[in-house]
Amino acid sequence: MPDVTSQVRARQESGSAGPDGEVATVPAAQPEPAVRAAPGPTPERLARAWARAIAGTSFVSMTPAELRSYLTGLAARLLSAATADTFEASVGFEVGVALVKAHFTQPASLDHTLRVLTEQLSDVGECTRAPALQSALAAGYAHALRERTLAEQEEIRAAAMLARSEAEAARWASEARFQAVFAGAVIGIAIADIEGKIVDVNQTTCDMLGYTVDEFRQLTVDEFIHPEDAPGIWDAYRALTRGEREHFRLEKPYYRKDGQIVWTDLAVSLIRDQDGQPRYVVTMVEDITERHHLQTRLRHQALHDPLTQLPNRTLFFERLGQILDDADDDARVGVCYLDVDGFKMINDTLGHDMGDYLLLAVARQLHSSISGPGQLVARTGGDEFVVLVERSAGPDQLVEIAEAALAAVRAPVQLGGHEITVSASVGVVERAAHTTSATELMKAADTTLHWAKRDGKNRWALFDADRHAREVTKFELSAGLPAALERGEFLVEYQPLVRLEDETVMGVEALVRWRHPKLGLLGPDRFIELSEETGLIVPLGQWVLGEACRQAAAWRQQYPDIDLVTSVNLAVRQVQDPSIVAEVSAILEQTGLDPGSLQLELTESAVMGTSGRPLETLHALARLGVKIAIDDFGTGYSNLAYLRSLPVHSLKLAGSFVAGLRPPDCPDPVDKEIVATLIKLAHTLHLTVTAEGVETREQAARLRTLGCDTAQGWHYAMPGPPEHVLALLESSVCQPSPAI
């Protein structure tokens, strides 16, 4: 008595399946009630939907309850993989294998399974997990099917070998066991002689390719060459007929007699005669057309962006990897990495649907305007696109493409009744292919894209190795700052402030330096801006202040009769920090320094136009008795009228004005006039004036004539360690440095 499966098969083959193509042994599950609570996916719920979807797709002898319970087990594994702490895509693979094991071997079973999982897993776990599980499942499924076919083919091959051992090929026909397998096999079998003439085919082969046995016998193997045959297949075939190999397997397309294409999985084996001479070639052919199409579709889905249908990030990197792998020494490669400007705002204000629509429009424009040979437009992220240029002709070509891309993005788009225009920024990288890896190339592209954004958007930027190196150093410095402060790598140098009238030292300016373990002594121009950006300037500035005050107190102790002002720079962020007043007062208290011996230098931007808290801070500092000087005066926004109302004691004239007084014969008359006016104005406001950057005797002399109070510069002394100041204090008069 035949088993249930073969009964089912017989009914299915003779068209006796249920009304929905459903097989009697697997009726559909009972329909769900129409009203349900919002379905959080549980194993049971997923299994129910799954069972409904795949019931009847394959010949399976399970009752609906058995099927549901089987699928519940698989569903539980998928759900826990989707939400587990560490993600294992291999669970998908195992579930694919389990489906084949349960005889769900028809492509529709896989197709419907994937569809159900797309619906049910979309909101479970991280968004990348469901697709990863699905593709692992498809891979496991294909693997298990192949294993199964292999086992079947092995059985046939064994039978053919048995026939061979009967010595004579003619006796194949009478070899009962072989005949049975040959005729009854659900896969096609074709036998050809060594010259390629087809000797025999079974009915399955005839059905598959649409020829009768007699028609087949008129054909030779060569007539089945197909343009999409894998390279090398016919070489392998000839090697087999020469007896150089025993068998091979591959996937191959055939034209059916009616012209349609059938995709097959082939196992080709050599049969030798008794003397070991090649005699026949047995080909076992399995029709995998549906699976092939499914796989092609899955692959397309896996490699293309569903919204724009452009190649996605994976395909982009696959292609780039190939180009780099295949590159010869003079091959060049380039990318334009494009990001739509302000896309987030469009999404937030017009909604995600409009955002999607816009991206679609951008994708179309890009695709149609950039389509040269070897050029691939991909969507690599939300609003990011890349043009990959194979065999690039040089940076100029890439820049041209970047401009075309920018123009394409700028084309107006109709969006919800409005015409809107967007712009983009593009990072362009072009280099010799063998000098780069895909990761390096894309990192450079990312950096360059940020340059384009930073330089004002709506433009392209071309990668520049020097700029990049400078930025890397800058970044490394910036990252190293906090540890450097902790390790005590900073130090303070002091530069005298000299009273022009009698050339005595009336004060010093504290200037910070960084003794970098690798780069040596670094001036503040290398790190002050960075520490302002990162906020480290607050603790660093506080450290300088403490250090300078301690030093000032020590000098004071040693030379109680010399009135020395120690001037310390305060960054804008320090002034904005409300605790600065308490800190200054605490430091003064700790060091015992008289507040009048401390001067704080603030830039114009820190004091001018300030209102509210910074202004209060300034007044509070002044109330402590500390002097306030405006640093680099004249380089910023100078509102002299406003200055009047501020508690400021001194102006430091920026070195650029003083530079105009330098030429020995003819000082720049405008600069001279400005300096004269500024000094007068300052004096009217009862402010003292310090000139910075005094490098020559002439400058010093002119400044003295113009009534300037104090000078600072190389003419008198370079910034130096505290001992230098000590030496000057001992002589009490600052000797101009002879060298300058």
Binding site for ligand C2E (CB under 6 A): 495, 511-512, 523-525, 528, 541, 544, 569, 571, 601, 631-632, 655, 692-695, 712-714, 719
C-beta closer to Ca ion: residue 283 or 567: 567
Q: How far is the CB of 524 from ligand C2E (least distance, A)?
A: 3
C-beta closer to Ca ion: residue 286 or 631: 631
Determine, following the binding rule CB under 5 A, whether residue 632 of this chain makes contact with Ca ion.
yes
User: Residue 266 touches which of ligand C2E, Ca ion, none (CB < 5 to 8 A by kind)?
Assistant: none
Q: Are 441 and 320 in contact (CB under 8 A)?
A: yes
User: Residue 389 touches which of Ca ion, ligand C2E, none (CB < 5 to 8 A by kind)?
Assistant: none
Q: How far is the CB of 322 from ligand C2E (least distance, A)?
A: 51
Q: How far is the CB of 682 from Ca ion (least distance, A)?
A: 15
Beta strands in 242-294 (DSSP E): 247-255, 261-272, 278-287
User: Residue 713 touches which of ligand C2E, Ca ion, none (CB < 5 to 8 A by kind)?
Assistant: ligand C2E
Q: Cα–Cα distance between 237 and 124 in angstroms, integer? A: 49
Q: Are 593 and 556 in contact (CB under 8 A)?
A: yes
Tokens matching residue 232: 């090398």
Q: Cα–Cα distance between 147 and 158 in angstroms, integer? A: 16
Q: How far is the CB of 527 from ligand C2E (least distance, A)?
A: 9
C-beta closer to ligand C2E: residue 119 or 532: 532
Q: Are 52 and 29 in contact (CB under 8 A)?
A: yes
Q: Are 195 and 211 in contact (CB under 8 A)?
A: no
User: Residue 544 touches which of Ca ion, ligand C2E, none (CB < 5 to 8 A by kind)?
Assistant: ligand C2E
Tell the burial category of 669 from Cβ atoms under 10 Å away from its Cβ (0-12, 13-18, 19+). exposed
The half-sphere exposure of 167 on its side-chain side, counting CA atoms within 13 A, is 0
Across the strands, what pairs with 629? Answer: 601, 650
Terminus-to-terminus CA distance in the chain, angstroms?
Answer: 116
C-beta closer to ligand C2E: residue 420 or 491: 491
Q: How far is the CB of 692 from Ca ion (least distance, A)?
A: 5
Sites for Ca ion among residues 657-696 (CB under 5 A): 692
Tokens matching residue 171: 């006796």
Cβ neighbours around 414 below 10 Å, total: 10
User: Residue 380 touches which of ligand C2E, Ca ion, none (CB < 5 to 8 A by kind)?
Assistant: none
Q: How far is the CB of 633 from Ca ion (least distance, A)?
A: 8
C-beta closer to Ca ion: residue 99 or 658: 658
Q: How far is the CB of 344 from Ca ion (least distance, A)?
A: 41
- Torsions phi, psi for 384 (to 5 deg): -110, 135
Determine, following the binding rule CB under 5 A, whether residue 448 of this chain makes contact with Ca ion.
no
Q: How far is the CB of 349 from Ca ion (least distance, A)?
A: 45
C-beta closer to Ca ion: residue 46 or 598: 598
- In degrees, rounded to 5, the angle at the alpha carbon of residue 337 between the alpha carbons of residues 333 and 341 is 165
C-beta closer to ligand C2E: residue 310 or 565: 565
Determine, following the binding rule CB under 5 A, whether residue 631 of this chain makes contact with Ca ion.
yes
Q: Are 452 and 467 in contact (CB under 8 A)?
A: no
- What's 650's DSSP letter? E
Cβ neighbours around 563 below 10 Å, total: 13
Query: How many angstroms separate the Cα of 2 from the Cα of each of 9, 15, 180, 196, 207?
Result: 11, 18, 17, 39, 25
Q: How far is the CB of 567 from ligand C2E (least distance, A)?
A: 9
Contacts of 603 (CB under 8 A, 6+ apart): 572, 630, 631, 632, 636
Q: How far is the CB of 428 from ligand C2E (least distance, A)?
A: 35
> Which string of x and - marks every residue 559-588 that binds Ca ion (by CB under 5 A)?
----------x-------------------
C-beta closer to ligand C2E: residue 506 or 544: 544
Q: Which residue stretch of 126-134, 243-251, 391-399, 595-603 sits at the interface with Ca ion (rule: CB under 5 A)?
A: 595-603
C-beta closer to Ca ion: residue 265 or 631: 631
Tokens matching residue 88: 């294992």
Where b means 16+ CB within 10 Å and e means fewer, 237-250 reads beebbeeeeebbbe
C-beta closer to ligand C2E: residue 278 or 524: 524
User: Residue 523 touches which of ligand C2E, Ca ion, none (CB < 5 to 8 A by kind)?
Assistant: ligand C2E
C-beta closer to ligand C2E: residue 195 or 525: 525
Q: How far is the CB of 657 from ligand C2E (least distance, A)?
A: 13
Rule CB under 5 A: which residues touch Ca ion? 569, 601, 631-632, 692
